[in-house]
Structure 1
Amino acid sequence: MNKIENWRSLRRELLFYSMGYTKSTARKPLIAIVNSWSELNPGHYHLRELAAAAKRGVWQAGGTPLEFNTVSICDGFALDKRYNLPFRDLIAFTIEMSLRAHEFDGAVFLTTCDKNVPAHLMAAARVNLPSIFVTGGPMLPGRFQGKDIVCCTDGRPMFGKYMTGELNEEDFQEFCLASHGSVGACGMMGTANTMQCLVEGLGMSLPGCATSHAVSPSKYRLAEESGRQIMELVARKITASAVMTKEAFDNAIRLFMALGGSTNGILHLLAIAKEAGCSLQLENFESISNETPFLCNVRPSGKYTLRDFDEAGGIPVMMKHLEPLLNTEVMTVTGKALKDNLANIRPKSNDVISGLNDPLSNNGGITILKGNLAPGGAVVKRTAFPKNRFIHKGRARVFDSLIKVEEGLENGTITLDQSEVLIIRYTGPKGGPGMPELHISPIFHAKGLQDMVIVTDGRTSGSTKGAMILHVVPEAADHGPIAAVQDGDMIELNVYDHRINVLIPEEEILNRLHSLGDFKEENDSFSTGWMRLYQAMVSSASEGTIMSVDNEK
């Protein structure tokens, strides 16, 4: 080592001394503990204690753990939904910069919720250190009137009953207090738990980590084991790119389909794969879905909770059932191939996780629709879509804001019929901006509209059930055909045949789009700052809504 290199190394060592570390500690492998702990939401509230367990493991295995925090976001806690998806890219950038600047030897990532998990995976893929994930786990289900309940999925129809007077004030308050059973991710197969499961499916967390609950002792044992295991990965130079391969992404997509996971998982897997240098398109999801059975009887697509799923064996058992369809030669953070991880898994007969010979459905959870209304594709969560709407033809009712629809339904200025097709547009990555979540909200349940077909260039929560056609590409802000739809136009969809069309001539669509002029954001509060950058640089939903200078116009 020359004198310049020696001074560079010594300078950092001297800073360690100022914090009370010894020379021995300063010269061990440095392991980043990337923690999204926050008091802003229940999904990350417990991660300080979980990080302490991970650090124990690092110390035991001969490394020096150094913890830093990143921001986190909860889709429920953050009231302005435009900010949620842009947070994903912001978090990824901050983690990437911290890891690159400080030249760590390895990293343990602690994260739980919807946008945070993919953000950490994106950063891990970019920096390509030896990496392991400790996902925060689901919250416990609540109990109401003798039954297990989960927030969001059970909450929206319950609030609808409260609005109509079917549920009295006292019972409603009891439900509210009971609906979130503990800290952790919301207790259904929404986006947060979908993404935690996909981390394990990619091979980036230890077996069983995804569904080990936030308050379970097993979660803390897994965190400590992960701290020890990162040192093994460092010693063997097993980096994130050795685990997050194209074959691993194919495995994760297959697991995704068998789980009936959140449609947001498509956006995130596309983005993570791009950062990992693996090419994915919507067609990959469609083809794998068509040959993968749906096996997971968990809300919102089934009847059980994440606790039931965990007790039935969680992701290891799911992947054991799927083993004939998986590439089991892929490397995982155990330091072993997937086939070795699955070798001793023995599924037990239960009603929560089905086998390949007795699936809940012969096809996976996601279908991609195309047609003149969505030339670049649109996403349907088939397992949560009402069967009576798989084939539907109805007149369009067009709005540029779901909030205006909800307010109009509540005050009586808007009336809708379930035979119609509700078009909600200018809610895509650019048009929102930020692709804010849309829900079949309690007012729809109160008005008996819970099965109404909704077509949007936006997205929805993974907790949502209903006839929702999402991520329409091109979005309205990009002059997609959805911007040309007018009240009264006939919309025809067929989920079985993967198509959606507006029944007007192509020439008329082009004429209407030409007359619109350039898209201008009504809200000019984003003339500066991160949201302005996001709007200028974000890709389409079919490309993962990822920020890149290549997207800037």
Structure 2
Amino acid sequence: MERSKKILCGLQNQYYRATWKSMGFSTDDLKRPLIGIANAWSECVPGHFNLRQVAQRVKDGIYRAGATPVEFGVIGGCDGMGQGHDGMHYILPSRELIANSVESMAQINLFDGIVLLGSCDKIVPGMLMAAARLDIPCILLPGGPMEGGIVFDGRKSDQTSSTEAYGMLTANKISEKEYVSLENLSCPTCGSCSYLGTANTMCSLSEALGMTLPDGGIIPAASAARLAIAEKTGIKIVELVQKNITARRIITKESVRNAIRVCLAMSGSTNAVMHLTAIAYEAELDINVLEEFDELSRTTPQIAKINPASKYNMIDFYQAGGVMRLMEEMKTIVDTEQMTVTCHTVAENITDHVYQYPENSNVIKTMKEPFGYQGGVAVLRGNIAPDTGITKPGAFDKSLHHFTGEAICFNSEEEAEEAILAGKVHEGHVVVIRYEGPKGGPGMREMYKAMKYLYGRGLSKSTALITDGRFSGTNNGCFVGHISPEAAEGGPIAIIKNGDKVEIDVENRSLNLMVSDEEISRRLKEWKRPEPKFKRGYLGLYCKIAASGSEGAIMKYDLL
């Protein structure tokens, strides 16, 4: 029986029907399945700015298919707006708030199914986490990527170009006029960022999981096709309800592996490791996502290159065939029998798919002639990262895959950025940014600006950066993030000193401090746990119960 029937049928449930009717719902509306629309629209996030129009077309599809749509709001913060200040502490923790709020609204109202509207970094995984918890019919529909801007530094610009350009300006590499021109010309439309950041990575991986209709993750935000797929999504959610195809029939161990394969093949954001771990946790799957990334990266070729790994952006990727082209090319190494929100399997979706544009081998290559024979994301371990460190070799020059340098240490993102802009970081340095993990940050902030400043100052091919924080999907250069255990938990990253030698070896999957085991042990014994930076409010709670990056930075309530 449909969930909503428990409160909408029978004389005893007149109370609920009267409450719905106070908002204009009719007797006929309340005889149909109730489909929630969790809409993260706001004027704060360009990736969500078009979701009002998208939601209306979803409603049209739901009505057309014979059900009743009920829209409600969900928060959503833009990583870009939170970068480089205290707001970034809240970005990752907001993922849990999103999951909790969607779960709460679905259960309070006993929706029969939900369409999840969100496009950006923590909103997409938060919504997928809620779907996995609820295990009711769900479809995720993003708002689509934005167009690229004016050409700058050899590619179509985006908002991150301004940060790179500021580094260039401080190094006297460009004029102030060139710098200022980007403000009006780098972001010509709304939409999720035009490059392959965490937002577009997770939208693509939702397709690969089977939770988004084919092409639904990457159709441009400003296109008519975005509205057309919104209506189709509304129709499909009703079919999922009728056939009782719930989220956990789609989010399985095998579909998570498919998503990992796609992430590796397109060199997606390192944050995907953490988010897929959290989604698998909510779906109660017996799978170690970190180990899967490590193992599958060795047998998954990189067959797509998208900014920051190349000059081509997300719309170029969509036109080259997108996620469907990747999965078709990879059909011998993905599980094509997995169910999807089309109510068909991956294999059936591949057979039925119609490509709107010609192939582009500059963006998507073949399994036989890939860009690289191993995946674009790698898991490193060593005496700095006993549990894990995550890097993205698909997005930086192969000459940096083995890098040994001298540590220069900072205990916050801000300290490191000031030093980089002041010219204190030089060739051969390994920049160490610590106390930015889930607990220590708190919130595991992104070291986006630090990497962009290194790039802008011409240091991206002669320095490296390691951190217990995260990186934006747009970052390139030699970096290792998600280092666990984090500094605030007494991880070895806490005891690195200025001048220590650090070795990053991607081929051998290692990250090591080049000092003796005895010296490391001595330093760890002398280490003292710092006071938490936040003791009240949501962050005060989060830093107490956040798990490590290696566990997906989920909130573990048994830690209270």
| TM-score normalised over the length of structure 2 | 0.94
Query: How far apart are the structure 1 equivalents of 2:328 and 2:440?
Result: 42
Structure 1 gap ranges (5+) = none
Query: How far apart are the structure 2 equivalents of 1:144 and 1:365?
Result: 26
Note the C-alpha offset of 1:211. Answer: 1.1
Deviates more, 1:358-367 or 1:169-178: 169-178
Distance 1:166 1:58, change over 3 A: same
Partner of 2:325: 317
Distance 1:166 1:104, change over 3 A: same
Note the C-alpha offset of 1:4. Answer: 12
Deviates more, 1:470-479 or 1:164-173: 164-173
Query: How far apart are the structure 1 equivalents of 2:181 and 2:305?
Result: 27
The AA in structure 1 aligned to 2:310 is: G
Query: How far apart are the structure 1 equivalents of 2:407 and 2:21?
Result: 68
Note the C-alpha offset of 1:503. Answer: 1.8
SS of residue in 1 equivalent to 2:19: helix
Partner of 1:306: 314
The AA in structure 1 aligned to 2:75 is: V
Deviates more, 1:439-448 or 1:458-467: 439-448
Q: Are 1:51 and 2:55 an aligned pair?
A: yes
The AA in structure 1 aligned to 2:42 is: S
Structure 2 gap ranges (5+) = none
Partner of 1:139: 146
Residues 285-343 of structure 1: CA distance to partner in whole angstroms, max 9, x if unpaired?
01111111101121101221111111111111111111111100100001011110001
Q: Are 1:60 and 2:64 an aligned pair?
A: yes
Partner of 2:278: 271
Distance 1:100 1:346, change over 3 A: closer
The AA in structure 2 aligned to 1:254 is: R
Partner of 1:333: 341
Note the C-alpha offset of 1:21. Answer: 2.0
Distance 1:23 1:229, change over 3 A: same
Residues 240-297 of structure 1: CA distance to partner in whole angstroms, max 9, x if unpaired?
0111111100101000101110001111000001101112231110111111110112
Query: How far apart are the structure 2 equivalents of 1:8 and 1:333?
Result: 35
Q: Are 1:380 and 2:391 an aligned pair?
A: yes
Note the C-alpha offset of 1:174. Answer: 2.0
The AA in structure 1 aligned to 2:50 is: H
| 1:296–1:302 contact (8 Å) kept in structure 2 | no
Query: How far apart are the structure 1 equivalents of 2:67 and 2:161?
Result: 45
Aligned mate of 1:223, from 225, 230, 233: 230
Query: How far apart are the structure 1 equivalents of 2:152 and 2:509?
Result: 41
Query: How far apart are the structure 2 equivalents of 1:503 and 1:8?
Result: 72
Partner of 2:22: 18
Note the C-alpha offset of 1:542. Answer: 0.7
The AA in structure 1 aligned to 2:145 is: P
Query: How far apart are the structure 2 equivalents of 1:20 and 1:340?
Result: 41
Residues 32-82 of structure 1: CA distance to partner in whole angstroms, max 9, x if unpaired?
011000111111111011000000000111101000001001001224211
**Superposition pairs for residues 138-537 of structure 1, below 5 Å?**
138-144=145-151, 149-278=156-285, 279-345=287-353, 349-350=359-360, 351-411=362-422, 415-439=424-448, 440-451=450-461, 452-521=463-532, 523=533, 526-537=534-545
Distance 1:123 1:159, change over 3 A: same
SS of residue in 1 equivalent to 2:531: coil
Note the C-alpha offset of 1:517. Answer: 2.3
| 1:489–1:503 contact (8 Å) kept in structure 2 | yes
Query: How far apart are the structure 1 equivalents of 2:388 and 2:108?
Result: 39
Note the C-alpha offset of 1:148. Answer: 5.2
Note the C-alpha offset of 1:18. Answer: 1.4
Query: How far apart are the structure 1 equivalents of 2:152 and 2:398?
Result: 29
| 1:153–1:188 contact (8 Å) kept in structure 2 | no
Q: What is the aligned residue count? A: 547
SS of residue in 2 equivalent to 1:208: coil
Note the C-alpha offset of 1:173. Answer: 2.2
Note the C-alpha offset of 1:441. Answer: 4.4
Query: How far apart are the structure 2 equivalents of 1:36 and 1:68?
Result: 9
Query: How far apart are the structure 2 equivalents of 1:145 and 1:491?
Result: 34
Query: How far apart are the structure 2 equivalents of 1:2 and 1:222?
Result: 31
The AA in structure 1 aligned to 2:76 is: S
Distance 1:417 1:204, change over 3 A: same
Query: How far apart are the structure 2 equivalents of 1:72 and 1:436?
Result: 16
The AA in structure 2 aligned to 1:448 is: G
Aligned mate of 1:110, from 108, 117, 140: 117
The AA in structure 2 aligned to 1:330 is: Q
| 1:300–1:384 contact (8 Å) kept in structure 2 | yes
Query: How far apart are the structure 1 equivalents of 2:139 and 2:8?
Result: 33
Query: How far apart are the structure 1 equivalents of 2:464 and 2:438?
Result: 21
Query: How far apart are the structure 2 equivalents of 1:166 and 1:150?
Result: 17
Aligned mate of 1:125, from 122, 132, 146: 132
| 2:7–2:16 contact (8 Å) kept in structure 1 | no
**Superposition pairs for residues 67-82 of structure 1, below 5 Å?**
67-78=71-82, 79=85, 80-82=87-89
The AA in structure 1 aligned to 2:416 is: V
| 1:418–1:453 contact (8 Å) kept in structure 2 | no
